[in-house]
Amino acid sequence: MSKTIELSGTKKGVISVTKLEEPYGKDSHTVASIGISLTGKSDTPEWKVHIPLENLDEVIKALQDLK
């Protein structure tokens, strides 16, 4: 699963959200990968973060609280 979102305040920037299974090799835990690309290239983001799926609900809640 993957989703690309326009990055507000930029001309071509995007936020990419992807589920990665075994991102660090065999038997590593699945993560949500969130990338930021100012050039619009979602497959090669300039910044990215990997969030373990086990932490996803808490991170989503924290983001919603910021709103």
Mean pLDDT of 22-26: 95
pTM over 0.85: yes
Q: Hey, what's the torsion of the CAs at 36, 14, 43, 65, to 10 degrees?
A: 50
Mean pLDDT of all residues in 47-61: 97
- For residue 20, name the pLDDT band (cuts at 50, 70, 90): very high
The predicted structure's pLDDT at residue 26: 96
> Of 1, 7, 3, 2, whose CA–CA distance to 46 is shortest?
7
| pLDDT at residue 67, as a whole number | 92
What does the pLDDT read at residue 1? 76
